[in-house]
Amino acid sequence: MEMLRIGVIGAGRIGKLHVENMIRMTGLEVAAVSDLMLNDSLKEWAAEMGIPSVTADYREIVQDSGIDAVFVCSSTNTHVQVIIEAAQAGKHIFCEKPLSFDPEQTRQALEAVEAAGVQLQVGFNRRFDHNFRRVKEMVEEGQVGSPHLIKITSRDPYPPSPEYIQVSGGLFMDMAIHDFDMARYLAGSEVVEVYAKGAVLVDPVFRELGDIDTAVVTLTFANGSLGIIDNSRKAVYGYDQRVEVFGSGGCATVRNDYPNSAELVTEAGVRSDKPLLFFLERYQQAYIEEVKQFADCVRGGKPVSVDGKDGLKAELIAHAAKRSLLEGKPVRLEEV
């Protein structure tokens, strides 16, 4: 197998996660990592991971001719610039979501990617989840008939810090964007209209920062089918990630994942453990799968399955949701 040499830009939680997964894969080599906050702790970690090069300047990675592909795991406001430079340097790109907060900028990044003829995969990891992928298969095999309704439950176990909320782009851009992508993925049709209703029920800090913590979004797809998403920043019982697809032929559905299936039955009733805590636990394998598929596509010259256009479309839905929330009425996608 051809060896793929990877540079990782941004070594926060998600950047480190990718590195820790990649060093266990065959056919991949993490050749370099960059982070603005280059400190001793990071250097130690890189040494432990066996990464030969660590830098504060991502351009060293972008310009390193020995590197085949970059993982863009830095903060969202840096994505577009890094993508453009990496594309121009001929690197294939894996970028975390969202590509940017501004569709116009995202379009510029996509143009650079297209002009350079490189691949760009967006980190919509949930498409690689064992449960959701199986539902998608059922839908594609026609087992639910023609889809009528896509229903997505997506609730985080605890809210991010106020610091993060401020730069997150808001619930729709930061959190629901995964669900917008999942809705498109499962429906097999584009969203044409969005109605979003939001509330602050978890913590008043969201209101103070101009954000919401609870949301219900109604989607209308081009094929006439409907979608519902509900989000919360705090589901105390664990990460709640479920989908249902209802169609003319039936319904496909998934449960959450649990740490074990042990059940205790006593006079007091039946008890079992709550769902897996959060995305690191629930999507552990999905994070590995998305990277494997990216590497396979890059090596084999096949188009990646979640590309820049998918990133852009989810962003546009997030923008429409935001506007719908502000204006208190449904918004057509063509308006944003």
Q: Where along the sequence are the contacts to a second copy (CB under 8 A)?
A: 24, 26, 48, 130-131, 133-135, 138, 143-146, 148-149, 151, 153, 155, 195, 197, 199, 201-202, 214, 216, 218, 220, 224-226, 228, 230, 232, 234-238, 240, 246, 248-257, 259-275, 328-330
Query: For 11-20, b where at least 16 C-beta lie within 10 A, e where not — what string?
Result: beebbbbbbe
Judged by CB, which is closer to a second copy: 58, or 287? Answer: 287
User: What is the Cα–Cα distance from 289 to 86, expressed in whole angstroms?
Assistant: 23
| CA atoms within 13 A of residue 136's CA, in its CB half-sphere | 16
- CB-nearer residue toward a second copy: 52 or 224: 224
Q: How far is the CB of 292 from a second copy (least distance, A)?
A: 15
Do 227 and 149 meet the contact criterion of CB atoms below 8 Å apart?
yes
Rounded least distance, CB 186 to a second copy, Å: 12
Nearest residue (CB) to a second copy, 41 versus 260 = 260
Report the residue number, 3 or 115, with the smaller CB distance to a second copy.
Answer: 3
Backbone angles phi, psi at 282, to 5 degrees: -65, -40
Nearest distance from C-beta of residue 231 to a second copy, angstroms: 9
Q: How far is the CB of 272 from a second copy (least distance, A)?
A: 5
Preceding omega of 103 cis (within 30 degrees of 0): no
Min dist CB 188 to a second copy, Å, is 15
Q: How far is the CB of 309 from a second copy (least distance, A)?
A: 26
Nearer residue to a second copy within complex by CB, 221 or 279: 221
66, 71, 73, 74 alpha-carbon torsion, rounded to 10° = 40
Q: Which is nearer to a second copy, 105 or 232 (CB)?
A: 232
Residue 143 one-letter amino acid: Q
Contact assessment for residue 242 and residue 254, using Cβ atoms and an 8 Å cutoff:
yes
Q: How far apart are CA 213 and CA 172, in angstroms?
A: 10
